[in-house]
């Protein structure tokens, strides 16, 4: 396989002749990561770009088998020698023909090395002593001549697909920036962080990563490798600064600045690199926040200047809290959900299209992109905070009591209809209580879910947080239930369910913690055709429940472990969707 003048070539030597062909002109875009693959089944040779078939050519003869050397990045046969200029990674050689679907399915996944049919695998992500390791059992390691490691965002090891490409924003240093007109305004404590990669070996400007004029600035000093985090207290500027002597700023790094009211701290790649003692309260104003630019005051010339960053930025975060070292190390390696406590702004900058930099928090402080462009990268290597759950593996358990159903004129039992894609489940009947429970337990996990009732009604919907199989009919059942109705009383509650309960018992369940009520929704009825977003977190001995971004319950978690379950009683057409968990 070769590249020449924006085309992909294949060449196969068969027992009869040499077969070669190429894709149309301009098939390959310069300075952008693309996945290339060729295959030959003895009848047809094919070329794929980013998992899509671009060219096929008849072959008709078996391949020649020999023991010639296998080369990456160079063609040394014949009188002329050709060298590749660019970046290469994830070299894979298979002794079977991969289908288009198979190529797409692990396009962005690292391999283990033991996959069926994998004859050679050189990730090129850990070259030591000029050896490119073959991760298969064949151990056909390669020797590296001249080529050097160039750090990029690594491939995600699991869960990525062709549709999950990673984008970042690229700034050219000449007027590119993102402007957020209604930015977060922390007062007592703050954390500002992002990933960034400079195009130049020294910073091309001042403090241009993330800045809010006369409030805070995270960035650099021009024509140096100095990193600086600055805050303003009244009209006074206070900062902490360090020269990054051992950091190659032309590679991706994570930068963060914090202020806890007493100390300013700087972090690089999850390590504290400097701090300055200072106490005070952050200044406040209505000025915009900039990403990739700053509007800073030059003390020497006593004037404000605009500075623009030359490089790439991703994963911008602003917190109303000074994150600890452990918290920075966790958040720098994980995508955020946007629901995190104290997170006031989150701009991943990974959308890949349009001129809006989306804020993923409920504040919706979206930014406008001026001239900066989307730049496709290998997937960013940040683990998602939660992953989508396949509901086809869950189990329905219903309270099946014909005489009680007859007494309340209810169908018996409830019916749970799982969507074909496993992404939602609907309880379709106005039936006695029913549960649809997970194949994992909840303690130590974060779970997100959406709930919508598509028709009118007044009865019970919600979630059980530590349900166990058999609890609907067990005299020893003991679990907590977030139950919500649309009647005049007994609205949103966190209840205790102990023992076998009849349908009528759900109107008078006791509180899970006596006297503990929802913070804002205790007397609010649910509304049909409205989608509610729930977040449940059972971590650090705390149970926390958010609804539409509002923390409704914040309790000490003394409850036993169990399964997560969707719940409905006397209410039809209840849709549970987009359930995600950090499992």
* Burial state string for 293-308 with b = 16 or more CB within 10 A and e = fewer than 16: bbbbeeeeeeeeeebb
- Evaluate whether 442 touches 566 at the Cβ level (below 8 Å): no
Q: What global pTM score does this model have?
A: 0.52
**In the numeric block, which tokens belong to residue 186?**
């922390």
Whether omega for the bond prior to residue 413 falls within 30 degrees of 0, making it cis, is yes
In sequence order, which residues have a C-beta less than 8 Å from that of residue 260 and are 6 or more positions away?
A: 189, 322
User: In this structure, what are the phi and psi dihedrals at residue 427, rounded to the nearest 5 degrees?
Assistant: -90, 115
Report how far residue 386's alpha carbon sits from residue 15's, in angstroms, rounded to the nearest whole number.
52
**In the numeric block, which tokens belong to residue 380?**
């960013």
Question: Is 557 exposed, middle or buried, given 0-12, 13-18 or 19+ CB atoms closer than 10 A?
Answer: buried
Domains of the chain as residue ranges with CATH:
2-143 (2.60.120.200), 168-377 (2.60.120.200), 388-581 (2.60.120.560)
In sequence order, which residues have a C-beta less than 8 Å from that of residue 276 and are 6 or more positions away?
A: 238, 239, 240, 263, 264
Question: Is 487 exposed, middle or buried, given 0-12, 13-18 or 19+ CB atoms closer than 10 A?
Answer: exposed
Q: What angle do CA 220, 170, 50 make, to 5 degrees?
A: 140
**Which residue spans within 16-100 are E strands per DSSP?**
18-22, 36-40, 44-49, 52-58, 74-75, 82-83, 91-94
**In the numeric block, which tokens belong to residue 466?**
């530590």
- Evaluate whether 181 touches 288 at the Cβ level (below 8 Å): yes
User: In this structure, what are the phi and psi dihedrals at residue 335, rounded to the nearest 5 degrees?
Assistant: -65, 150
**Which residue spans within 410-561 are E strands per DSSP?**
416-418, 424-427, 434-441, 446-453, 460-467, 478-484, 493-498, 531-539, 542-547, 550-556
Question: What is the pLDDT tens value at each position of the chain, 583 positions in all?
Answer: 777 767 877 787 888 888 887 888 888 877 777 889 999 888 888 999 888 888 888 887 788 888 788 888 887 666 667 788 888 888 999 999 998 888 877 776 778 788 889 999 998 876 778 888 888 888 899 998 888 776 554 443 333 333 344 788 999 999 999 999 999 989 999 999 999 999 888 887 777 899 998 899 998 877 888 999 999 988 788 999 999 988 988 888 999 999 999 999 999 999 999 999 999 999 999 999 999 998 866 666 666 678 899 999 999 999 999 999 999 988 888 888 888 889 999 999 988 888 999 999 988 999 999 999 988 664 445 666 678 899 999 999 999 889 998 998 888 889 999 999 999 999 999 999 999 999 999 998 899 999 999 998 889 999 999 999 999 999 999 999 999 988 766 589 999 999 999 989 988 899 999 999 999 999 899 999 999 999 999 987 899 999 988 899 999 999 999 999 999 999 999 999 999 998 7
Token pair 């650099």 in the structure block, residue: 220
**In the numeric block, which tokens belong to residue 145?**
């001549």
């Amino acid at each position: 396989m070769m590249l020449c003048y924006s085309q992909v070539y294949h060449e196969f030597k068969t027992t009869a002749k040499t077969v070669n062909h190429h894709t149309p002109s301009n098939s390959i875009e310069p300075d952008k990561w693309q996945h290339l693959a060729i295959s030959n089944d003895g009848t047809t040779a094919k070329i794929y770009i980013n998992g899509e078939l671009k060219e096929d050519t008849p072959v008709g003869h078996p391949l020649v088998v020999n023991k010639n050397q296998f080369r990456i990045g160079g063609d040394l046969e014949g009188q002329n020698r050709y060298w590749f200029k660019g970046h290469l990674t994830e070299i894979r050689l298979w002794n079977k023909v991969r289908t288009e679907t198979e190529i797409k399915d692990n396009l962005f996944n690292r391999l283990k090395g033991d996959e069926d049919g994998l004859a050679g695998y050189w990730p090129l992500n850990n070259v030591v002593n000029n050896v490119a390791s073959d991760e298969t059992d064949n151990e056909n390691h390669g020797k590296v001549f001249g080529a050097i490691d160039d750090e990029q965002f690594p491939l995600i090891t699991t869960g990525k697909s062709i549709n999950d490409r990673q984008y970042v924003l690229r700034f050219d240093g000449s007027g590119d920036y993102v402007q957020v007109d209604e930015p977060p305004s922390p007062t007592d404590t703050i954390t500002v962080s992002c990933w960034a990669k400079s195009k130049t070996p020294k910073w091309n400007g001042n403090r241009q990563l993330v800045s809010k004029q006369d409030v805070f600035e995270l960035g650099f000093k021009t024509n140096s490798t100095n990193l600086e985090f600055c805050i303003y207290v009244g009209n006074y500027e206070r900062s902490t600064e360090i020269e990054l002597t051992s950091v190659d700023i032309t590679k991706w790094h994570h930068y963060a600045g914090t202020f806890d009211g007493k100390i300013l701290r700087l972090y690089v790649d999850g390590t504290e690199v400097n701090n300055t003692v200072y106490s005070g309260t952050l200044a406040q104003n209505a000025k915009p926040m900039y990403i990739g630019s700053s509007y800073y005051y030059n003390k020497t010339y006593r004037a404000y200047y605009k500075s623009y960053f030359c490089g790439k930025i991703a994963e911008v975060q602003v917190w109303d809290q000074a994150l600890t070292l452990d918290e920075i190390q966790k958040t720098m390696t994980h995508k955020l959900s946007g629901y995190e406590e104290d997170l006031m702004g989150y701009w991943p900058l990974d959308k890949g299209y349009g001129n809006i930099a989306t804020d993923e928090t409920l504040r919706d402080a979206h930014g406008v992109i001026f001239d900066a462009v989307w730049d496709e990268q290998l997937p960013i290597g940040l683990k998602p905070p939660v992953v989508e759950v396949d509901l086809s593996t869950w189990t329905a358990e219903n309270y099946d009591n014909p005489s009680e159903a007859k007494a309340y004129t209810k169908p018996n039992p409830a019916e749970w209809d799982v969507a074909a894609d496993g992404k939602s489940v609907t309880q379709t009947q106005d039936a006695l209580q029913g549960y649809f429970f997970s194949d994992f337990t909840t303690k130590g996990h974060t779970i997100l879910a959406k709930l919508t009732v598509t028709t009118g009604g007044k009865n019970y919907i919600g979630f059980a947080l530590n349900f166990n199989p058999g609890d609907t009919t067990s005299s020893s059942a003991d679990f907590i239930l977030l139950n919500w109705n649309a009647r005049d009383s007994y609205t949103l509650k966190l209840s205790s369910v102990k023992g076998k309960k009849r349908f009528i018992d759900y109107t008078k369940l006791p509180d899970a913690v006596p006297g503990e009520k929802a913070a804002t929704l205790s007397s609010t009825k649910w509304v049909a055709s409205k989608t509610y977003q729930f977040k449940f977190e059972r971590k650090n001995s705390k149970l926390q429940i958010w609804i539409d971004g509002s923390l409704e319950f914040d309790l000490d978690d003394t409850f036993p472990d169990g399964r997560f379950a969707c719940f409905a009683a006397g209410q039809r057409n209840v849709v549970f969707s987009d359930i995600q968990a950090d499992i």
